[in-house]
Amino acid sequence: MKKRHIAFWIAFPISFVLVGAILIFLFDLTNGPLVLFILMLFSLVALAASSIILLNKKLLFRFIPWVSFVGVIVLLLSLSKPSVERRSATLFPNPEKTKVLQLVNGKVQGAYTKDKQVEVYAGIPYAKAPVGDLRWKATQPVEDWDGVKDCTYFAPKSMQSYGDPITGTLVEMYAEKGWHPDYSMHPNEPVSEDSLYLNIWRPASFEGKLPILVYIHGGSLTTGSSAFQEYNGETMARNGVIMITITYRLGIFGYFAHEDLLKENDGLSTGNYGLLDQIEALRWVNANAASFGGDVDNITIAGESAGSSSVSALCSSPLAKGLFKRAIGESSSIASFRAPHTFRSLDDALSTGKKIMKEFNVNSIEELRKVPATKLLTTQYSNSSMCVDGYALTKSPYEVYKAKENNEEALLNGYNVKEADAFVVPTFLFDPTNKNNIETRLADTFDKQAASEFMDEYRTEIEKDAFSTFNDIITAYWFMQPHRDWSYLAFDNGEDVYRYQFTKENGYLGTNHSGEMVYCYGNLDKTGKSFAYDQSDYDLSKTMVSYWANFVKSGNPNGEGLPTWEKMSAHNSPLLELGKEIAPIEEKAERAYRILDEWKNREAEKELNK
């Protein structure tokens, strides 16, 4: 046997297995259609066969299969991306339909869960489509419709860009702390400007009127969906709560501001269209509560991340007064002195609006309304913040609470341990924070004085682990302190306030941003991450669902068989730890709060002296 034949039969099986493994990994990354994966495997088999057939040919000919294979794989990978499909209201095909439900504006028909214990009505319109001349106008009430509307599928997401599937899978791998291949297809949801819809989960059988929970999704006010399984409402419905999730305008469609829009709307509003959508959704819920069995006098609003920022805004908006009773906020708030995110001044919003007009080379709002929605998504300017527009928000939420003009009667709110990691780690992925650069990064984020104070206060921690210490400080700034401020303000106004800190690690998101959602809404079994959870996770989830449901029902999370959750009795009251242990714990970021408070005061003084 020739030497090259011996080398071939040694190297080829190794190469074949290696290339096959790479294809399997790439297919998991791209999350493309199964047919493309089959074509990839067929190409691999063709490569093997042609390589054997051409074994005795000249080197040039033996390279032809490999060049062809690489070309085919590059082509298939370029085509390999998630499909776009409507998402069913249930997690299984061909569900049984519910009876027709008469609402104020028309009839709807939803779907049952498999055991027929819960009814789901998805994609119910709550407002006119904000398209054409209604783009960047205050939300308009929905019009009546004829016939029975099929509500067995979720409506499209609000306009947003699709994330890159490879990046998404890599982020999943980071969150999962390993590689857990998933070859089931995960299609993208369609997106549309016509997206003002809501979804209802309710028990199939009940007596009297049930409390209502209206959930507002997160996503930095630029992305997100009302159909994600993390806050599927089935478990809440099984616990005697009608749960509703809503969509609202996002990004440039929801938070674009311009002086001409103020004139067009008689000086009423600009820059808060997404917030106005949320208010209109609450109006719809109030008007239709009796139609779907809800108690109009017992409505709680809830949200996570930007959804929680929105909750704090709704608690501060005069337009939302009387539309709900209680509030739940998870991992964000703008009810804070100098809120660190999702909030900006009207001047900043208007300045950005002028830049956007110039970016798209238009001279009027009429011209900008004619720009296709998909092109508007390409804007380089962030539209991820609310502002004091004089209509939806007449004061900053901090000022509203200080004036005792907030809307909620009771507040349940809190945060996770590693909130900022998901934002900070990717930012410094190729240049991680260390002892040599942490002070510069702190100074860039705050000022030199604050950086010096942080270095002195956290010297021991920085010497031990500068990377984690920096993340902890940013977590305190972006998430923990805003919730502390919100809690203090609500408590000072005489509210019952319940605070938590989520500390339960697992094999997936754990205590990172949004890690608590699947627990408090009871959806561990719907995530497709069964490898990540053990019995302790399911036990904790059952307890948290009970806390959340009890709070929605009565304003008090406590109930029979649950560890006692003491309401706030003073500014320094303990929080409730929700983790391996469920017990009171002391606030751990007081040192950071002191430095942050002083820095914010300095910044405020600078602005006053300008």
And the tokens for 209?
Answer: 């009127």
CB proximity list for 518: less than 8 A, separation 6 or greater: 230, 524, 526, 527, 541
Q: What angle do CA 145, 148, 149 make, to 5 degrees?
A: 75
- Cα(322)–Cα(283) distance, integer angstroms: 10
Q: Check if the beta carbon of residue 191 is closer than 8 Å to that of residue 160.
A: yes
Q: Check if the beta carbon of residue 397 is closer than 8 Å to that of residue 312.
A: yes
- Cα(415)–Cα(486) distance, integer angstroms: 12
- Cα(471)–Cα(419) distance, integer angstroms: 9
Strands 210-216 and 242-246: parallel
Q: Check if the beta carbon of residue 160 is closer than 8 Å to that of residue 250.
A: yes
Sheet strands (E) in 253-391: 294-304, 326-330
And the tokens for 503?
Answer: 């500390």
Q: Check if the beta carbon of residue 501 is closer than 8 Å to that of residue 585.
A: yes
Coil, strand, or helix at residue 244? strand
And the tokens for 334?
Answer: 């703008």
Strands 191-192 and 210-216: unpaired
Q: Which residues of 135-159 are buried (b: 16+ CB within 10 A; e: fewer)?
A: bbbbbeebeeeeeebebbbbbbbbb
Nearest CA-CA partner of 309 in 353, 344, 346: 344
114: enclosing H helix or E strand: none
Nearest CA-CA partner of 187 in 23, 24, 378, 34: 34
Can you say whether the dihedral through the CA atoms of 555, 559, 562, 564 is positive or negative?
positive
Give yes or no: 305 in active site. Answer: yes
And the tokens for 332?
Answer: 């964000």
Helix pair 34-53, 3-30: axis angle to 10 deg: 170
And the tokens for 501?
Answer: 């800190």
Q: Which amino acid is at 277?
A: D
Q: Count CB-CB contacts under 10 A for residue 542.
A: 16
Out of 158, 195, 269, 305, the active site residue is 305
For the chain, how big is the Rg over CA atoms in Å? 27
Q: Count CB-CB contacts under 10 A for residue 448.
A: 12
Backbone angles phi, psi at 575, to 5 degrees: -95, 165
Q: Check if the beta carbon of residue 183 is closer than 8 Å to that of residue 277.
A: no
Residues identified as active-site: 305
